[in-house]
Structure 1
Amino acid sequence: MQLLERAKTLRSEQTEAEQRLWYYLRAHRFMDMKFKRQKPIGRYIVDFVCHESRLIVEVDGGQHQENAGYDRRRDTWLQEQGYIVLRFWNHEVMQQIENVLEAIRLAVERACSLSPDPSPASGRGEQSK
C-alpha cells in the first residue's frame, strides 16, 4: 500500500486515544496552531504534526513496546529533519489529557521561541535623517 493511501486509511481508523487528542488539536483549537493528522513525512506517517512549530505528537498503544528500536530510529530521523517529537501512551491521553495538552503547549511555546524572527525587508521602516 502506498504511503498516501496508508495515511488515508489510518485517518479513518484512528484509535480512541487519537480521536480524543484530535478533538483538542483540530481546527486551530489548540493555541490557534494548525495540526494535521496521519501525515506522511519522508517515508514515515506521523499521528499529528504542526509544521509551523515543527512539532510531531505520537500516541502509542501497547504494540509500540515491541517496536521501540524502530521508534527510536524514526524519531531520530524526524529530529534530524528539524522536528520535535513527543510521545504519549494511549492511557495518558485517555486518563490525563490535561497533562498531555500542557506538555504539547510547552513544546509549542519552546519551538516558537527558538524560531528566528524574520528580519525586516530592506527599505522599510523609518530611516534616520
Structure 2
Amino acid sequence: MQRTEQPAMFYGAKRTIFQNAELLRKNMTPAETKLWENLNKSQLGVRFKAQHPIDIFVADFYCHKFKLVIEIDGGIHEYQQAYDDGRTAELEKWGLTVIRFTNEEVLNDIEKVVDSIKRYLGVAKLATPN
C-alpha cells in the first residue's frame, strides 16, 4: 500500500510497520480473531481497526475516535512485562489509552471483555465533546 501522507491516526508509522500490520491481520491469533468478531463492523457503535500501525508498533485493535488501543496478551507476555509496560508508556505519550486483556479472558469470557470495552467507551463518550 503506497501512502504519501499519513493521517494522524498512524502517529508517524513507517512503511515497514504497515507491512507488519498487514501480515499480522492475515495471521491473527485465535483470541484476536474472537475479539475481532465482536469489534468489527462498528458493532459497539464505533469503528475499530485490527492490527493498526501506530508509531513503531502495531496495536492489536484501535479506535481512533476515542484514542483507544486494545491489546491481547498471550502466554509470552508474562515474560516480557517490562517491554509491555514500556510499550504502553510510549503509546500513552501519544495521548492514547491502552486496555489489556489476556488470551484466556478473551477465549473463556468474551462477554466480560466486551462489557469492559463497552464501559470504557461509555465513559469516554461522556468525556468527549461533540
Q: Does residue 35 of the first structure (1) align with residue 52 of the second (2)?
A: no
> How big is each residue's C-alpha offset from its partner over 1:15-44, in whole Å with a ceiling of 9 and x where there is no partner?
0010000001001112x2100010111111
Runs of 4+ in 1 over 6 A off after TM superposition: none
One of 63, 66, 70 as aligned partner of 1:53: 66
| Structure having the larger proportion of residues in helix | 2
* Corresponding residue for residue 122 of structure 1: none
Alignment check: 8 A CA contact 1:56 1:83 kept: yes
Q: Does 1:70 find its partner at 2:83?
A: yes
Number of aligned residue pairs: 116
Deviation of residue 81 (structure 1)? 1.2
Q: Is the 8 A contact 1:3 1:43 kept in 2?
A: yes
Deviation of 1:116 after TM superposition, in Å, equals 2.6
Root mean square deviation of aligned Cα: 1.3
| Counterpart among 78, 89, 92 of residue 105 in structure 2 | 92
Distance in 2, Cα, partners of 1:111 & 1:84: 10
Q: Give me the TM-score of the superposition, normalised by structure 1.
A: 0.85
In structure 1, list runs of 5 or more residues that go unmatched.
118-129
Alignment partners' CA distance in 2, 1:87 and 1:108: 15
